[in-house]
Structure 1
Amino acid sequence: MRGFAALVRKELLDFRAYPLDLVNLALSPGLLVAPHLVVARLFGTGPDFQSQVAVGLLLWYWLSTLFWEVGHGIGEEMEEGVLEQLLVTPKSLLAVLGAKAVGAMLTNAYISAGIVGWLFAFGIPLPLPWPAFMGVMLLTGLGLGGFCMAYAGLVLLVKRAENLGAGTQTVLGGLAGMTAPPQVLPQAAWIISRVIPLSYGIEAARRLLGGEVVGDQLLWLVLSGAAYGVAGWALLGRAQRRMRAAGTTGEF
């Protein structure tokens, strides 16, 4: 447990070295969400639509941060030799990814607080039952953790797959209903959205806005996240065996 805590601390040490990053994480979401909210206000049907866009953006940020931390972070540590050092210790890649996930979720909680502040500053109503919404956010983070574990396994196997993260996270956000419900998408896109855990988290949050039942969405969120977690476990195991056999985390 102490070793895992040390890995989590390592993930957070950047903020100690670069405290201005905390300022950036609090301010930059305003620049991203503002255009979407302006469009929602100009072309939406009223405050309800603005609130639906707001919760979609809020939860999409969890996917964005996890993709960046897992994809770019794993690729960076692979290049710097950090993973090679860890492979000769008892610590598993799963522990490394778990620490990254915990660090990313703590970062996401901070970013989410900043986004909520921006939403209130923009005058966007958020009539949410906040304890329930925080539970939905936590479950969404856990579901996306499994999703990103599979992505991390792909990064380690394909090597440069982390470069797909920037564009892929935006596409996945659109398919998951970041700004509009997946039901309005073409049927093929809607089918794809059913295998993205984020889509169930966003739908659950929007149902909370309307006072509707969210149990079925949360069930699918947990099941899909668990399925991706199992797939990620298998991919990581294969990547780890290949790296140990090759004696390097680079080309093999």
Structure 2
Amino acid sequence: MSTAGGAPMTTDTTTATPGTVHEEARIVTRTGPGKFVADTRAVFHREILLTLRDPFTLVFSLLQPLVFLGLFAPLLTGTFGGTGMSTADTLQWFVPGVIVMISLFGTSMTGSNLLYELMTGSYERVLATPLSRSAILVGRALKEFAPLVVQGLLIAVLCLPFGFTFNPLYALAGLVLLGVFGVGIGALSYALGLAAKNREWLFWGVQQALLFPLLILSGMMLPLEAGPGWMQVAAKFNPLTYIVDAERALFAGDIGDPVVLWGVLAAAITCAVGLVVGIRATRRLT
């Protein structure tokens, strides 16, 4: 059949259910914050299903913080023994740092998962979808962070018989703060994965070179007060220092401590910088 102008008229014979048509139209027409939330939820749902299908990974990832807790906590008890701190006081200082540690390790791995998708070509299929680039970053970072929330709460509960105490509401606020910080770290890891495309050694070299100094200079595992002056000065330029201090205050129920405000500021800046860098890296690759 031809139109009046002579051009052939084609008929689309593809069948689609009303629900499918409605969903596709909603994805295309949704704009603004609604699109970002929906896209983030879609990315998170897709990614978390892959994790839930491999529960062994979750169990194995829990072993490392438990080893740190079992080995470092007794050493710290002996170190703090001269200051009159009990085992309960030591755990109150140490456990929030362990929770921050597992969050940092998890979200900084976002780029390593991306490297695998770049090698298999599945990442290009993700970019071909109408998903917003910021939603891809946030959804994947939240996927790395969600299991860590469960692990962190489990560690806190396991320490309760040894004198560790926490306010559930303030602890939840601490986890939200940690989630904001984790989104920024995950986005930066994502950008590093894109920059290290086809050079996996580069990703791991940069990640490890940055990760462990940040851990040590945050006072997460050992107190910095007994360290040299230059370490204490360097710690003030480490955003992780303020996150760790804020988590300790929140888990202790001291939400009015000024360190909480500094932690919120550090998390917000890290999140903003991470998203800006990550989105630019994604658009540049596209």
Q: Residues 88-237 of structure 1: matches in 2 within 5 Å?
A: 88-120=128-160, 123-159=161-197, 160=200, 161-163=202-204, 164-166=206-208, 168-208=210-250, 212=254, 214-237=256-279
Tell me: CA distance 1:196–1:75, structure 2 relative to 1, closer, same or farther (3 Å): farther
2:12 matched residue in structure 1: none
Superposition deviation, residue 96 in structure 1: 1.6
Q: Residues 46-125 of structure 1: matches in 2 within 5 Å?
A: 46-47=86-87, 48-68=89-109, 70-120=110-160, 123-125=161-163
- RCO comparison, higher one (Cα < 8 Å, 6+): 1
Question: How many matched pairs?
Answer: 241
SS of 1:230's equivalent in the other structure is: helix
Asked if 1:37 corresponds to 2:41, the answer is no
CA distance in 2, matches of 1:27, 1:210: 25
List gaps (5 residues or longer) in structure 1. 245-252
Stretches of 4+ aligned residues off by more than 6 angstroms = none
Contact persistence 1:61–1:108 (CA under 8 A): yes
Amino acid at match of 1:77: E
Contact persistence 2:239–2:266 (CA under 8 A): yes
Amino acid at match of 1:112: G
Higher helix share goes to which structure?
1
Tell me: CA distance 1:4–1:137, structure 2 relative to 1, closer, same or farther (3 Å): closer
CA distance in 1, matches of 2:117, 2:141: 15
Superposition deviation, residue 202 in structure 1: 1.8
Tell me: CA distance 1:226–1:90, structure 2 relative to 1, closer, same or farther (3 Å): same
Superposition deviation, residue 142 in structure 1: 0.8
Superposition deviation, residue 37 in structure 1: 1.4
CA distance in 2, matches of 1:206, 1:29: 17
Superposition deviation, residue 111 in structure 1: 0.8
Superposition deviation, residue 183 in structure 1: 4.0
List gaps (5 residues or longer) in structure 2. 1-36
Amino acid at match of 1:6: A
Amino acid at match of 1:130: P
RMSD: 2.7
CA distance in 2, matches of 1:64, 1:9: 21
Tell me: CA distance 1:113–1:223, structure 2 relative to 1, closer, same or farther (3 Å): closer
Superposition deviation, residue 124 in structure 1: 3.3
CA distance in 2, matches of 1:229, 1:208: 20
CA distance in 2, matches of 1:242, 1:205: 36
Superposition deviation, residue 73 in structure 1: 1.9
CA distance in 1, matches of 2:91, 2:279: 43
Residues 32-66 of structure 1 deviation map (CA, whole Å, 9 limit, x = unaligned): 32111121233332221332122211222111111
Tell me: CA distance 1:237–1:128, structure 2 relative to 1, closer, same or farther (3 Å): closer
1:9 matched residue in structure 2: 45
